[in-house]
Amino acid sequence: MNPLFNHATRLSVRHKESGENSRFNFSGGSFSEYAAQTRAKIAHARANAGWCADPRLVDWNAPFECSPEAPGFCNDSGEWQAERDYREFRNADGRAENGVLLIHGLTDSPFLVRDLARYFVQRRGFLARAVLLPGHGTVPGDLLQVRWREWAKAVRFGIDSMRGEVRRLYLAGFSAGAALAVLAALEEPRVDGLLLFSPALRVSPMAALAGLHKIYSWALPEARWLALHEDRDPVKYESFANNAVVEVLRLTVEVRRKLSGASLTAPVFVAQSEGDATTSTREALRFFRNHNDPHSRMLLFVRSAGSGGYVDRIRRISATAPALRDPGGRIMSFAHICLPVHPLNPHYGRQGDYRDCLHYEGSSGRFADMLRICCSDDLFAAEPNAAYGEMDQLSERVVLRRLTYNPHFDRMTEAIDGFLAGLA
């Protein structure tokens, strides 16, 4: 009942490398040229694999830029109207006052940070850009050989593309993207602030065992995969390559090595779920408490009662509030993937088109029935023991749908408002 260690389908064309996306090989051009070139690679790789190649889905996976003067998709919802007129958001020297580079996580795509981009552009008047990490956005097979240093090159390009265009630069990263943001800030002291969502700062040392597949996967190609799924999600790989696990482990080891020998000067905002089944909440707390900047703030999304204000710079937000019963089930806890996603997100939101039930795939008996209920909105709504939450709460008593949006997204962005105001 774990989406990992689960071969629920057989290898297909999408599980082979496309040959176009294992390295970061763009240089010498503008961000818009990079975005256009990357979008073309995504379209080509997906068309060749016969997988999720619709132009709208290609766009969802591609790097993007939004600003008050060219908002693009950041202005496609009435929920995101600007609080004041930011059209003249550039200074006399032509630079934007504030910019943010958004970095997605492992197996994800820039779609995961689109709602954050809307917030930064519409509410804060920022220039927002998001890069695509090599190996992502095309086909799952492109994670078979990629190295974390290629991800770092993409982040470096994003930073360099913004450095001359903004007066203050912030990095916002989700999961592995948060680890890359920390690493970049350690190497680039001119970063003015970090915003980390479900940061992947430590993974189990057992992840190193994923590299053992190289001994025998030449004879058993399926062994290169920790999980094989149907990949129904067009913006996040459901199939999981062993190599990706090893590279995240190496990335987090490098981050901790750098932190042990250097001080992080940028103030940080951290949003973390207490019950995160993917990253270490303990490590996120340790990282935050070791960072003594008085302006830093942390939101900890907990199962139990929350706190009214900040205690030692940490504020707790509860999943047990009565208002958090959604149609079809109560919210028990906050999943790793939910924090950067708005409830109105068209794909992962409350009325979105995706249901995360991977934890039941490949099951039999009672859990096979749970998979059927989890995937059906009608059955899920009629199930008295249906709930949203994180995978660590799987049981035979509750039909669990993994929570894919943050019901407290607006409270989180209000906290970010306060964090940014403290830095002004």
What the block records as the tokens of 29 is 């051009």
Residue 75's pLDDT band (cuts 50, 70, 90) = confident
pLDDT(303) > 90: no
pLDDT(272) > 70: yes
pLDDT(86) > 80: no
Domains contained in the chain, number: 1
Half-sphere exposure of 353 (CA within 13 A, CB side): 6
5-23 pLDDT tens trace: 456 578 999 999 999 999 9
What the block records as the tokens of 306 is 């929350």
Name the more confident of 23 and 397. Answer: 23
Cβ-Cβ contacts under 8 Å for 235 (sequence gap 6 or more): 57, 60, 61, 108, 109, 111, 112, 347
pLDDT of residue 213: 46
Q: Is residue 166 part of a domain?
A: yes
Answer whether 283's CB lies under 8 Å from 255's CB. Answer: no
Provide the phi-psi class of 297: left if phi over 0, else alpha when psi is between -120 and 50, else beta: beta
Residue 396's pLDDT band (cuts 50, 70, 90) = confident
Q: Is residue 287 part of a domain?
A: no
pLDDT of residue 216: 41
321-336 pLDDT tens trace: 544 455 556 888 899 9
pLDDT of residue 161: 95
pLDDT of residue 10: 84
What the block records as the tokens of 90 is 């550039």
pLDDT of residue 71: 85
pLDDT of residue 73: 86
Listed residue (381, 386, 388) closest to 343, CA to CA: 388
Residues in the chain: 424
Q: Is residue 111 part of a domain?
A: yes
User: Residue 237 and residue 233: Cα distance in Å, rounded?
Assistant: 7
Q: Where is average pLDDT lowest: 141-155, 236-250, 293-307?
A: 293-307
122-135 pLDDT tens trace: 999 999 999 999 99
Residue 392's pLDDT band (cuts 50, 70, 90) = confident
Give whole-number Cα distances, 366 to 221, 228, 360, in Å: 31, 22, 10
pLDDT(249) > 70: yes
Q: Is residue 295 part of a domain?
A: no
User: Residue 291 and residue 211: Cα distance in Å, rounded?
Assistant: 33
Q: Is residue 280 part of a domain?
A: no
Listed residue (276, 257, 265, 126) closest to 199, CA to CA: 276
Residue 84's pLDDT band (cuts 50, 70, 90) = low
Tell me the average pLDDT across 158-184: 96
User: Residue 110 and residue 62: Cα distance in Å, rounded?
Assistant: 6
Cβ-Cβ contacts under 8 Å for 259 (sequence gap 6 or more): 182, 186, 287, 290
Q: Is residue 82 part of a domain?
A: yes
| Torsion angle in degrees (nearest 10) through CA of 202, 312, 275, 290 | 10
pLDDT of residue 319: 74
User: Residue 378 and residue 384: Cα distance in Å, rounded?
Assistant: 12
> Which residues form the domain of 205?
10-266
91-137 pLDDT tens trace: 878 889 999 999 999 999 999 999 999 999 999 999 999 999 999 99
pLDDT(33) > 50: yes
198-215 pLDDT tens trace: 999 988 554 444 444 454
pLDDT(28) > 90: no
Listed residue (244, 64, 251, 71) closest to 158, CA to CA: 64
Answer whether 174's CB lies under 8 Å from 103's CB. Answer: yes
pLDDT(88) > 90: no
Q: How many CB atoms lie within 10 A of CB 168?
A: 18
Tell me the average pLDDT across 338-366: 92
Q: Which is it for strands 314-318 and 297-302: parallel, antiparallel or unpaired?
A: parallel
Q: How many CB atoms lie within 10 A of CB 69?
A: 13
pLDDT of residue 40: 97
Give whole-number Cα distances, 233 to 40, 238, 272, 300, 347, in Å: 20, 7, 24, 28, 9
Q: Is residue 182 part of a domain?
A: yes
Residue 87's pLDDT band (cuts 50, 70, 90) = low
Percentage of the chain modeled with pLDDT above 70: 88
- What CATH number did the domain enclosing 65 receive? 3.40.50.1820
Q: Is residue 315 part of a domain?
A: no
